Structure 1
Amino acid sequence: MRDLARRRPALAQLRYAERRDAFAGLTLAERFALIHRTNLWGAAETTSGLGSELAATAALRAGLHDLLGRYGVRRLLDLPCGEFGWMAAVDLNGVDYIGGDIVPDIVTANRARHAAPGVAFRHLDLLEDDLPQADLVLCRDCLVHLSFANIHRALENLRASSARYLLTTTFPELPENGEIEDGDWRPLNLQVAPFCCPPPLEILLENCTEAGGDYRDKALALWRLEDLREPGRL
C-alpha cells in the first residue's frame, strides 16, 4: 500500500490551508457556500473541483451507466450534485435523477440550467435531512471533505434512507485515515478504521492523475447500505 505521507498534497488541501482562518465559526452549509462562492478548490471548469472536470471523469462517464443497469437502478440520488457538469454528459436513459446539494445557490442554478423531465434538483443536507426515495445514492467527492464525526452522521442518515446501494469515493490503497476539519480534504479508505466497511460489490477506478498520479487508486465503490454497520454492531 502507498504510504499516506508519500502522497503529495492535492490542490484542495493546499487551497484550504491558505484560507483556513476564513472558515472559523462557520456552519457546514456556510463552509461549502464559501467554497463555491470563491472557487476555493481552483478548477477552471467548475467550482466543484478538479475531480469534476470532464477529463477527470472520463472513466466514470464510460462506466456509470452500465453499473446502474447491472443493479437495476431506476432512481438515482446524486448527493452532493455540485454544478452537474460532468453528470450532464452521463447517459441517464431510463434513470430518474435527483441532484441534491447543501448550497442553495447551486440548486437554484442547476434548476435553471438543467431541470428537465426525469432530472430534478433539491436543497438537501446529507447529515440531517430525510432523503428522497432512490435505489442508489451517489455520494462522490463528499465524505473526503468531512470530519470523522460527520462522516458517521452521513452514513447513519444514508442507512436510514430507502436506498439499497451507496456508490461513494474511496482510496483502497490508503493504509490509514486522517482526521480533518469540515471543508478540508484528504483521501479516505472506507475499509479501514474508523469505518471498517466490508469489501465493496464493485470498484470503478477513476484514473485520477492529480499530484503526478499519487491518487491513482481513487475510485467509486459500491456497497449495499444494509451491509454498512457501525463498527462493533452486528
Structure 2
Amino acid sequence: MHSTKSYVSYLTRTTRSLLIIATIITISILILYYFFARLHVCIKFSLSTKPNLINNAKHTQLETILSSSFIYSLDNECKIDLNDSSLHIRKKEFDNIFETGRWNTIGSRSGPGSSLEGAFDWLRHLRTLFEHYSIRSMGDIPCGDTYWQFSLREINTIEELYFGGDISLSVIKQNQKLYKTKHHNKLFQYWDIVNCPIPTFTYKNSTYEINGNRFDLIIVRDALQHMHIRNGLKAVRNVIMSGAKFFALSTYPPNGRSSASNTRSIGKNESLPLIPTECVNKTYCTYGAIKDGDWYANNINCYPFNFPLNKAILVQQSHEKFGMEQDEMHIYKIDEELKKIVEQYDNACS
C-alpha cells in the first residue's frame, strides 16, 4: 500500500513537471514565431521601400548606410602662402576673433548670427531649397564653428558631401575634432575663399573612383560684410566660377531695411526689379574699404557686385523670426550671365 501511494505521488510530480516543461516550450515557440514574423515583415518593408527612398533622394538612415561605403576627399588644397603678408594678417585676425570670443562668448563663437535663433530662417529656406532642387553636396565657406548647420537634417545627412572651409585654422581644428571620426561625408579643411578656387571632390569605394565632382550648393553666409570689398569681389568670383549650381549668401538691402515687396520664394516667381532703386546713391567701393574682420553692410546687387536682383530664386529676410539684423538671404542659380558679370571684377574698385 505504501509502495502504491509512493508510485502515485511520483506520477503526479512527473506529470506536473512535464506540464510545466510543455508550457515553457509552447510559450517559447510562440515568442519565436512572433519574433520571426515581425522580422519577415520588416525585411519585406525595407526591400519594398528601398528603391523609392533612393529615387526620391531623401536623406534617410538607409541612404546614410549606403553612402557610408564611399570615401570622400577634396581634389585640391588651399596652401598658405608664406610670402603673402596680407593673408597672414587676415588669418591672424579671424583666428583671434574665434579664440577670444570677440563676436560671441556664449554658444557659437562665430557670432550671434550663427546661433540657432540667428540661423532660424536660413534653416527654413535651406530645407525648401534641398527639397525643391535635390541638393546632394555643398561647400560652406567660411563654415565657422558649425553651431547651426547640422541641426538641419538635410545637411546633417547630406547624400554626398558637406565641405566646411575656413581661413581660421583654430575653427578647422575644432570641427575636425568634433566630426571627422564619426561623420564620413563631412570634410573640414583650411580654405581661403579669397585666394583659392572652390575645390572639386572625389568619392570612391572598393569598385570605382569618381573625381572632379562639383558642389551643388555653395554657401557664403555672414562673411562678405567682414571682408574688404576687393576681397569680397574675389570670393564671389571664385564661387561663381566654381561650377556649382547654386549660390546662397548674406546681403544687406541698400536702403538699410528689408522690404516686404522685394521678396521671392523658392519655386515662385514674384516680381523683382533688376536692381534696387537705392543703388544709385551708394558708393560701396568707399563704404566697403574696411579692414578684414570689421563690418559694413554689403550688397550683392549694387555696383561693384552687380547681381541682377530679379535673377535670385530666393530673396527673404535673414532674421524674420527673431529680428536680429536687417540683412537678407539671397540664393542665385549660377548661369552664364553671372559668370560674365564676375569676369569684370578685376577692374572694379581700383
| Common topology (TM > 0.5) | yes
CA distance in 1, matches of 2:133, 2:321: 29
User: 2:174: which partner in 1?
Assistant: 109
User: 2:245: which partner in 1?
Assistant: 164
CA distance in 1, matches of 2:254, 2:233: 21
Aligned-partner SS, 1:27: helix
CA distance in 1, matches of 2:141, 2:252: 19
Larger Rg, first or second structure (1 or 2): 2
User: 1:182: which partner in 2?
Assistant: 292
8 Å contact 1:60–1:204 — kept in the other structure? no
Q: How does 1:79-158 map to 2 (within 5 A)?
A: 79-91=141-153, 92=155, 93-95=157-159, 96-115=161-180, 116-133=183-200, 134-158=215-239
User: 2:332: which partner in 1?
Assistant: 223
- Measured at CA, do residues 29 and 55 of structure 1 come closer, stay the same or move farther in structure 2, by a change above 3 Å? same
Q: Offset at 1:31?
A: 1.4
CA distance in 2, matches of 1:94, 1:79: 17
CA distance in 2, matches of 1:225, 1:25: 28
Q: Percent identity?
A: 25
Q: Which is further off, 156-165 or 136-145?
A: 156-165
Which protein is richer in helix relative to its size? Answer: 2
The counterpart of 1:205, out of the listed 294, 317, 321, is 317
CA distance in 2, matches of 1:127, 1:204: 26
- Measured at CA, do residues 111 and 222 of structure 1 come closer, stay the same or move farther in structure 2, by a change above 3 Å? same
Which runs of 5 or more residues in structure 1 are unaligned?
1-23
Q: How many residues are aligned here? A: 207
8 Å contact 1:195–1:231 — kept in the other structure? no
8 Å contact 1:56–1:208 — kept in the other structure? no
Q: Offset at 1:208?
A: 5.7
The counterpart of 1:65, out of the listed 119, 122, 127, is 127
Aligned-partner SS, 1:56: coil
Q: Which has the higher contact order (CA 8 A, sep 6+)?
A: 1
- Measured at CA, do residues 129 and 41 of structure 1 come closer, stay the same or move farther in structure 2, by a change above 3 Å? same
8 Å contact 1:167–1:220 — kept in the other structure? yes
8 Å contact 2:246–2:332 — kept in the other structure? yes
Aligned-partner SS, 2:295: coil
- Measured at CA, do residues 208 and 114 of structure 1 come closer, stay the same or move farther in structure 2, by a change above 3 Å? farther
User: 2:139: which partner in 1?
Assistant: 77
Q: Offset at 1:90?
A: 1.2
Name the TM-score, length of structure 2 as normaliser: 0.54
CA RMSD in angstroms, aligned pairs only: 2.4
CA distance in 2, matches of 1:224, 1:62: 18
8 Å contact 1:82–1:106 — kept in the other structure? yes
- Measured at CA, do residues 108 and 150 of structure 1 come closer, stay the same or move farther in structure 2, by a change above 3 Å? same
CA distance in 1, matches of 2:242, 2:298: 23
Which runs of 5 or more residues in structure 2 are unaligned?
1-85, 201-214, 256-277, 346-350
Name the TM-score, length of structure 1 as normaliser: 0.79
CA distance in 1, matches of 2:246, 2:234: 17
CA distance in 1, matches of 2:216, 2:324: 33
Q: Over residues 49-108 of structure 1, what are the superposed CA-to-partner deviations in whole Å (9 max), with x where a residue is unaligned?
A: 010111111222222122123223211000000001101211123442111111112111
CA distance in 2, matches of 1:220, 1:205: 6
